[in-house]
Structure 1
Amino acid sequence: MPLITSAGVGSGLDLESIIKASVDAENRPKMQQFAIKDEALKVELSAVGEVKSAISKLNDTVEKLADITNFNKRVANITQPTSGDIISVTPTSDISVGNFDIAVTQLAQGSRAVTADNAFASSDTVVSASGGTLSFAAGTNSFDLTVTAGMTLNQLRDAINADTNNFGLTANIVNTGDPTVGSKLVLTSSITGDGNDLVITSDTSEMDALETHDATNNPAGGMTIADGDKAQNAKITVDGLEVTSSTNTFKDAVQDMTITAKAKSVQDATTSVYETAKLSVEYDRESVNTLIDELITNYNAVIGQIGFQTRIGRPLNGDSSMRSLDDQLVSALSKPLTDAGPFGSIFDIGLGVDKEGYLEKSSLVRSLNDAMDSNFDDIGTAFAGPNGVAKELESLLGNYVDSGGLLKQREDSLNGQIKDLEDDVVNHEYRMQSLEDRLRKQYAGLDVLIAQMQQTQNYLGAQLANLPGFTSKK
């Protein structure tokens, strides 16, 4: 802390201005140097960050281009009949392109069992006075349900629906209002397919009314499954060839495609011919076009950033790493291709580089659409094949933007320099404070000395003024 907070109080001299001028003479030039260097480092860091951001976006696109599945997509175009949607499809990348006529002649369904007339007068009728076990089965699925003594039909319905082992059986009660029919328990199974009818048995004859009727094995069973309520397969025709499935999903009915039957086709009353949906499987040209457009946009963003940041007056002007990156990008694009059909380079598939180095769609050799028409699969190889351009670009860009990449190292170096500069500023401010403290101590002594001299002068003047015959000059 300075000895005197306001120098010059004792002597009347403007020592504060002297101290400030002395400190400023030492401080201002150095602080200006710090500010200039800090601004230069931050501008360079920002420039490196802009280039790195552009390269990262390009690298994200290149990673997509390096994935062959992005070139193997297929699209299925369906023209549904006028009656409505009857199918949906999911093609895989392995399916061959082609056209198909598909009709749905039968939908898959599960079985439906209903209790006999007047088996239960109402939903409050007790189904078993002593209790027992009901066993439900459909196909390979089954579960057992404990029926408690005195359980009503309503309680049985709730117990079936709430059972955690239930395989997809839904219980409902229909109250007919007819005393000769009563309330009926309706059980609907979700297990579809021929031969998967619901089978219900019990361990007590008291619950015969809840067992499914079987003329051979269980003639006493009271629940019946009408012919129209039996479990059945789904059936479709593909170009007139019938295909069956235990569910409404047909996997590989057309190889490498899943077809889902949504509704039964309307059948012509006169000809008995079923209406069909027209299915066309094609290469997914749009997704490839979109991906290549993304490559062009992000590649050109990198070229633009390199050009802008290396202009005269910009922080990366004359930077050797930026010139090297520019050259390496062109070299990677020009890489000779192997096993890509007629394409010797990506410039053979409808791409080109203009005189400023920007990538563009070109028809100098052939257009991209022409290339897709004639050699669609080879386009994927040109980019994502083992020797494809995307693999080359991926390796190149990774050297710049990965965690140990050149630009990351450069950012770390610049951030380190900025931190060191901040430390230099703190140290300099400490030295300036020390200088001010030292000056204040020095001027404090001068202030006291001059004040004492002024006091002595005033004392002598007063003594002389009291001498006889002394006349002071005004």
Structure 2
Amino acid sequence: MSSINFLGAASGLPLDELVSTFVNAERDTKLARINKTKTTLDASLSGVGQLKSALASFLDASKKLSTDNLKARAVSIVQPEAGKEFISATAKNTAAASSFDIKVNQLASGSRVESADGAYSDSSAVVSTTAGNLTFQADGNSFTVAVTAGMTMNELRLKINDVSDNFGVNANILNVGGAVGTKLVLTSTITGTGNDLAISNDNAELDAFSTVPTGASAGLAVTLAAKDAVIELDGTTVSSKTNVFDDVVQDISITVLAKTPDGNNAKLDVATDKTAAEKNINDFIKSYNTLVSQVATLTRKRILDADGKVTLESGALSGDSLPRNIMNQLRGVLGSTVSGAADSLNSLYSMGISMTKDGTLEISASSEFNNETGQARFDKALNQNFDNVAKLFGGDDGLISKLDAFVSEYTKTGGILSNRQDTIQSQLRDNTKASEAASRYIASYEDSLRKRYAALDTLLGQMQRQQASVTAALSSLPKFTSSSSS
């Protein structure tokens, strides 16, 4: 069995421990700086990512104050009877504030087509002894059903209902019996006066199941004509081929759902949505204040207690001037005036929104620099100058456009923060390479030391053996022995 040689085994000296001490000292010297750099870079990369995300969130909240969102219209309806809907409505942002009295006289309906009484005794009656086609049409829509020879009435019903391009025709069979017998009933969902269901054929034998005959007479007749929806809008009669009245009042869509009771009409009001606007503005203030707090956390300095112990670690971007520069410029944008806005409402301050000493925004209850409190100016702007509020925030020159242009330079792909992230990631890759190179150096250094000390160990071992041999030889000499004895 081969023996295992340990460094120092020959000389008896702690050479292995000595080499480990040298290697550890060299490793600590080489890797300490590299590891510290990596820790700093990791924190910076995380901090830049957090800053980018915080700015993007603030911008998203800001965009809810664009012109279209601020001009959103609130639609309110008073129904004639509680618990039942007679009309519904939506309004575009461009709709004018308005109020209307609406009477629903008639709902739009589709047509109904039936076979004559007594024409058929049951649903197994044969439609045609020869093949042909039935074509169904209404308001420009059409589809065709192929009738096979010997097809029954029930088979025809099933085929009409199953055809893939059926535009809304439903076929049913009524088994009434007696003088009425069995009737084929077809209803169409296509509404509007003049849009009755028409059925034609290419085989006169199918005239019995058509409204437009190829031969002498048709076997089906329209028993209920398609109708328009009819309403009275502030006393003016208006009709629509469907139950939806689009732009009868410009930029407002009204849907009728039921006929209103006599003498009891529905009431429709369209107004600016001040509640939604107030919420969006408050969300904007909250989002900005969150951004201020996040940046303060990212840039804070380390705090020590009286004994010099760390009580709060520094932020990931402590000492980095970029976050502070961003916030300084952002405060400049928020404090600026909007050239396209009304003179009386061309800044956040004029709307009652001011900046506190700690850099956050608030709607102040104080009247320190104005006869009115910030809250009073805010309420006045929403209640009396709503369209001017939209001009302040929205538009090509509005505050949101300015914020978008500024913040996007930092948050967009290829923007300032993205480039900063790319730079840090490149530095991290270089740091990894430096760490790998240092590890290779340490391994080489350790190998070199072990070889050198192994040679030293061997040499010392030889010297110790020679010394022992010389001592043994001297001790065997007579003179040496007698002298030693005396």
| TM-score under structure 2 length normalisation | 0.86
Q: Distance in 1 between matches of 2:426 and 2:266?
A: 67
Q: Any conservation in 2 of the 1:193–1:246 contact (CA below 8 Å)?
A: yes
Q: Check if 1:303 corresponds to 2:300.
A: no
- Per the alignment, residue 373 of structure 2 pairs with 364
Aligned to 2:221: 224
Partner of 1:20: 20
**What are the residue-to-residue correspondences of 1:232-251 with 2, within 5 Å?**
232-251=227-246
C-alpha separation in 2, matches of 1:247 and 1:28? 83
C-alpha spacing 1:219/1:319, structure 2 compared with 1 (3 Å): same
Establish whether residue 377 from structure 1 lines up as the match of residue 387 from structure 2: yes
Contact preservation (8 Å) 1:103, 1:277: yes
Distance 2:242 2:50 in 1: 55
Once structures 1 and 2 are overlaid, which stretch shifts more, 400-409 or 389-398? 400-409
- Per the TM alignment, residue 460 of structure 1 is displaced from its structure 2 partner at its CA by 4.8
Residue 349 of structure 1, aligned match among 348, 351, 361: 351
Name the structure 2 match of 1:54. Answer: 54
Equivalent position to 1:432, from 438, 442, 466 = 442
Q: Describe the superposition over 1:177-221 as per-residue Cα deviations: whole angstroms up to 9, x where unpaired.
A: x2533221110011111122222233444333222389xx99732
Cα deviation digits, residues 381-435 of structure 1 (max 9, x gap): 1111222111221122123222333333323333322322222222112111111
Letter of the 1:401 counterpart: T
Q: Which residue pairs with 2:108 in the alignment?
A: 108
CA displacement at 1:457 relative to structure 2: 4.1
Tell me what 2:128 maps to: 128
| Partner SS, residue 53 of structure 1 | helix
CA distance in 2, matches of 1:204, 1:46: 78
- 3-state DSSP class of the match of 1:127? coil
Paired residue for 1:277? 266
State the 1:15 CA deviation. 1.0
The secondary structure found in structure 2 opposite 1:403 is coil
Change (3 A) 1:136 1:54: closer
Query: What secondary structure, in the 3-state scheme, does the structure 2 residue paired with 1:299 have?
Result: helix
Give the equivalent residue in structure 2 for 1:210.
209
Check conservation: 1:212, 1:218, Cα contact below 8 A.
Answer: no
CA distance in 1, matches of 2:301, 2:54: 21
Kindly provide the CA deviation profile for residues 289-342 of structure 1, in whole angstroms up to 9, marking residues without a partner as x. 222122112211222233333333335445433332222112111222233223
How far off is 1:465 after superposition?
6.6
Distance 1:243 1:219 in 2: 40
Q: Which residue does 1:264 correspond to in 2?
A: 259
What is the correspondence of 1:431-470 to structure 2 with a 5 Å cutoff? 431-460=441-470, 470=481
Q: Is the 8 A contact 2:207 2:215 kept in 1?
A: no
Preserved contact between residue 109 and residue 227 of structure 2 (Cα < 8 Å): yes
Give SS of 1:56's match: helix
- 429-438 vs 297-306, which moves further: 297-306
1:201 and 2:200 correspond: yes
CA contact (8 A) 2:204 2:215 kept: no
SS of match in other structure, 1:367 = helix
Q: Is residue 201–residue 212 contact of structure 2 (8 Å, CA) maintained in 1?
A: no
Answer yes or no: is the 8 Å Cα contact 1:131–1:147 preserved in 2: yes
User: Which residue in 2 is equivalent to 1:95?
Assistant: 95
For the residue of structure 2 that corresponds to 1:128, the secondary structure is coil
Which whole-Å CA distance do the structure 1 matches of 2:48 and 2:276 have between them?
A: 32
Structure 1 residues 41, 146: closer, same or farther in 2, change over 3 A? closer
- Per the TM alignment, residue 251 of structure 1 is displaced from its structure 2 partner at its CA by 0.9
1:335-392: per-residue Cα shift (whole Å, max 9, x none)?
A: 2223322313122122111122211123636432321211111111111122211122
Alignment correspondent of 2:182: 183
- The 1-side partners of 2:210 and 2:37 are apart by 92
Q: Which residue of 2 aligns with 1:169?
A: 169
Instruction: Provide the residue aligned with 2:430 in structure 1.
Output: 420
Question: Which amino acid counterpart does residue 306 of structure 1 have in structure 2?
Answer: V
Distance change (3 Å), C-alpha of 1:320 and 1:464: closer
Q: 2-side partners of 1:213 and 1:424: how far apart?
A: 90
TM-score (norm 1): 0.89
SS in 2 for 1:295: helix
| Aligned equivalents of 1:377, 1:277: Cα separation in 2 | 28
Partner-residue secondary structure (3-state), 1:386: coil
CA contact (8 A) 2:139 2:195 kept: yes
What is the alpha-carbon distance in structure 1 between the residues aligned to residue 139 and residue 53 of structure 2?
Answer: 59
Q: Distance in 2 between matches of 1:358 and 1:385?
A: 25
Amino acid at match of 2:133: T
**1:409 has 2:397 as partner:** no
Give the distance between the partners of 1:197 and 1:354, measured in 2 at CA.
69
Aligned equivalents of 1:442, 1:195: Cα separation in 2: 108
- Alignment partner of 1:397 is 2:407: yes
Give the equivalent residue in structure 2 for 1:270.
none
Question: How large is the RMSD of aligned CA atoms in angstroms?
Answer: 2.6
Question: Does structure 1 retain, via aligned residues, the 8 Å contact 2:125–2:153?
Answer: yes
Alignment length (residue pairs): 458
Unaligned runs of 5+ in 1: 268-272
Distance in 2 (CA, whole Å) between partners of 1:213 and 1:28 is 99
Q: For 2:326 and 2:409, locate their aligned partners in 1 and report how far apart those are by CA, in whole Å.
A: 10
SS in structure 2 opposite 1:78? Answer: strand
Greater mean deviation of Cα atoms: 85-94 or 178-187: 178-187
Structure 2 residue 86 is matched with structure 1 residue 86: yes
Q: Distance in 2 between matches of 1:198 and 1:406?
A: 65
Cα distance, 1:141–1:444 mapped onto 2, change above 3 Å: closer
One-letter code aligned to 2:169: L
How far apart, CA to CA, are the structure 2 residues paired with 1:456 and 1:154? 121
Runs of 5+ in structure 2 lacking a partner? Answer: 303-313, 365-371
**Relative to structure 1, is the Cα distance of residues 111 and 423 closer, same or farther in structure 2, using a 3 angstrom cutoff?**
same
**Is 1:102–1:279's contact at 8 Å kept on the other side of the alignment?**
yes
Q: Tell me whether 362-371 or 54-63 shows the greater mean CA deviation.
A: 362-371
| CA drift at 1:125 | 1.3
> One-letter code of the match for 2:373?
L
Asked whether 1:252 is paired with 2:244, we answer no
Structure 1 residue 260 displacement after superposition: 0.8
Distance in 1 (alpha carbons) for counterparts of 2:460 and 2:22: 20
Q: Report if aligned partners of 1:209, 1:223 keep a CA contact under 8 Å in 2.
A: yes
In the TM superposition, residue 78 of structure 1 has moved relative to its aligned partner by 1.2
Tell me, in whole angstroms, the C-alpha distance in 2 between the residues paired with 1:418 and 1:322. Answer: 21
What is aligned with 1:334?
335
